[in-house]
Copies of this chain bind each other. A is one copy, B any other.
Amino acid sequence: MKNVRGIVFDLYGTLYDVHSVAAPCDRYHPGRGREMSALWRQKQLEYTWLRSLMGAYVDFEQVTHDALVFASHHLKLPLDRAACSALCQEYLKIQPFPEVPAALARLQAMALPLAILSNGSVNSIRSVVAASQLEHHFAHLISADSAQIFKPHDSVYQLAEQQMQRHRSELLFVSSNAWDASGARHFGYPVCWVNRAGNTFDELGQSPDHVIQGLEQLADWIAS
């Protein structure tokens, strides 16, 4: 077994599918849900990076709201206040990827403490994890809100090291977001990139230590 004393998971796009919101978007604008969801996510990411760099932090729920407002304006898809609020609520109940519940159970059975380290607010993380009834798997739910800045800033990655009381070299960081995997590795975590969709890893001067196609492969690799 590898020198892994705990696992730190990214949430959005790694354990949970952000495009769960495409179906509810489609109910408001039939045939346009996928496109809305894609632009919404892209802008949500951009706004976390830009606000962090500007020194103008607001929490993830506000960023998610702002990104949806931009997406609906840009796509010229009207969204009244009630619809906007309803869609933002959908972000609090996005679904885990199909293999995630069984994979978490297997990892937990290996007596490894599991954590989530997410840009989401405390409320966002708790809501998503509770809605999918997976909260019993996690020893720590850690929000970037404590650092008042978003990933990939070092002070966010540091939160997991502090709360799990392990040196970064003993914690495995798991993310599907190549930029997040790069940031975590630059900070000093060994990194596993979950590449479900055959994506291209980002050119940010880092490479993942290991690549898997889905979370079911994680326990095998750690035990090998």
Chain B residues within 8 Å of A152, by CB = 50, 53-54
Partner of A203, one of B47, B53, B54, B186: B47
Q: Interface residues of A toward B: which range? A: 20 to 34
Chain B CB within 10 Å — which of A52, A54, A70, A183 has the most?
A54
Copies of this chain present in the complex amount to 2
Partner of A204, one of B50, B73, B205: B50
0/1 string, A15-52, CB within 8 A of B gives 1: 00000000000000000000000000001001101111
Chain B CB within 10 Å — which of A43, A50, A55, A183 has the most?
A50
Interface positions, chain A 48-68, Cβ under 8 Å from B, are 49-56, 58, 66-67
Asked if B56 contacts A200 (CB within 8 A), the reply is no
Q: Which residues of A contact B (CB under 8 A)?
A: 43, 46-47, 49-56, 58, 66-67, 69-70, 73-74, 150, 152-154, 179, 182-183, 186, 199-200, 202-205
